[in-house]
Copies of this chain bind each other. A is one copy, B any other.
Amino acid sequence: MTDTGREADGGASARQALDTLTLRLIDSIATAVRRSIERGELPHIELPVRSLANVTYDVDKGYFELGETLKTRTLTVNTVRSFAQTLRLMAASRQMVQGNDFATKREAYYISKNWGDCRFDAQTESDAIMDDIEALASLHGLAREQLRFYPESHGGSVAGPLTVIDTDPETGAVLEIDCANLGSGAWSVPRSVEQLGFRTDADFILAIETGGMFQRLNHHRYWKQANCILVEMGGVPTRATRRFIRRLSDDTDLPVYCFVDCDPYGFANIYRTLKVGSGNAAHINRFFCVPRAQYLGVTPQDIIDYRLEDATHPLTRTDIKRAGDAVKNDPFFASHPRWIAAIEQLLGMGVRAEQQALAKWGLNYVIDEYLPRKLENRESFLP
């Protein structure tokens, strides 16, 4: 039985510590701005540069990371609006931390409609300022969720031998959710998972690309047979799903096996994003990557081993371009010769296969044959 340290108070003390850190960061920036003004100087805020030029990749760390280059936003005639917007958005964040509230990116845009001249004209404006603040906070170990800006989309569904320990947002009472007792449904991961604690005796986490496959494995209680926790990603996993899997695997020390379609999108968009993050959001990868993720399948070799050739589809031009980019330009794949070999094997075959193609051998072949055989041979999983 793996216990996380958080469940005694449903993660409340951990959240409190992060809240204190967040408030301290906001206060220190605001104080510096105020002191500059009191000294008769033009105030400024230092923000990390968010561009590929300021991104580093370290194989050991296993994710794209924001570099140390900073840009300075000084109060001038040209920047007065964005300077004020940065401060107001930080003030909104402070208020939400204090009131245990949150705002989606869309709501953050709308609350500005009451800010007079420094209102945002479009959400792209508020998103950009929010990304700046998020990048700054990330240097202090704080994710956007800690600033109380939540993603629009919630996470995927979860089923299996896992008790999630949460608090009632209103009363603070500790709640336990038994993900093995939700019938044919599942637990829907909330937008922010920072406060959650976990209790489980599962052996691994199975992250599944499609809702259809998740439903099949849940319906037949595969999680009981294999003693694992099922997580539905539903395509490229949302921030909430990625952060949930990261926190769950960190806290419980469980490996994460990914079960996705055998195509360049499955490798490079779904799996790679889950494992190491993405290049254009380097300031958040450290919170959202799942370094212990491994690729169970479907692999190009599986198409041969499980005789799926006649249940495949030809690679499209987009597939081929995406595979070429992965092999040539992606530092993650470049550092893993086994991945390069797998992608080149797929390009040689000229086809892709969906996880549901296993239904060719019967709807539950995946449960009775495929997954058990793959799990007997875990060292074959792609890195």
Contact = CB atoms under 8 A, between A and B. Distances in A.
Contacts of A5: none
Contacts of A177: 181-183, 185
Interface stretch (A22-30, A50-58, A218-226, A284-292): A218-226
A253 to B, nearest CB: 23
Interface stretch (A160-168, A318-326, A375-383): A160-168
Given A110-B311, A110-B357, A183-B167, A212 B104 contact: yes
A182 B192 contact: no
Contact of A220 (B154, B169, B357): B169
A219 B102 contact: yes
Interface string A99-118: 00111101100110110000
Interface in A82-140: 96, 101-104, 106-107, 110-111, 113-114
Binding site secondary structure of chain A: mixed
A172 to B, nearest CB: 11
A43 interface: no
Contact of A363 (B111, B166, B175, B356): B111
Interface residues of A, number: 59
B185 A190 contact: yes
A175 to B, nearest CB: 5
A330 B196 CA distance: 47
Contacts of A364: 101
A218 B379 CA distance: 43
Interface of A: 96, 101-104, 106-107, 110-111, 113-114, 150, 152-154, 157, 164, 166-170, 175, 177, 181-192, 195-196, 210-212, 215-216, 219-221, 224, 310-311, 354, 356-364
28 contacts: A101-B364, A103-B363, A107-B212, A107-B363, A110-B311, A110-B354, A110-B358, A111-B360, A111-B363, A113-B357, A113-B360, A152-B210, A157-B188, A166-B182, A167-B184, A169-B219, A170-B224, A175-B182, A175-B183, A177-B185, A183-B190, A184-B192, A184-B195, A185-B187, A186-B190, A187-B187, A190-B215, A191-B211
User: Lowest 9 CB-CB distances: which A-B pairs, in order?
Assistant: A166-B183, A104-B212, A110-B359, A188-B188, A184-B190, A113-B360, A107-B359, A170-B221, A175-B183
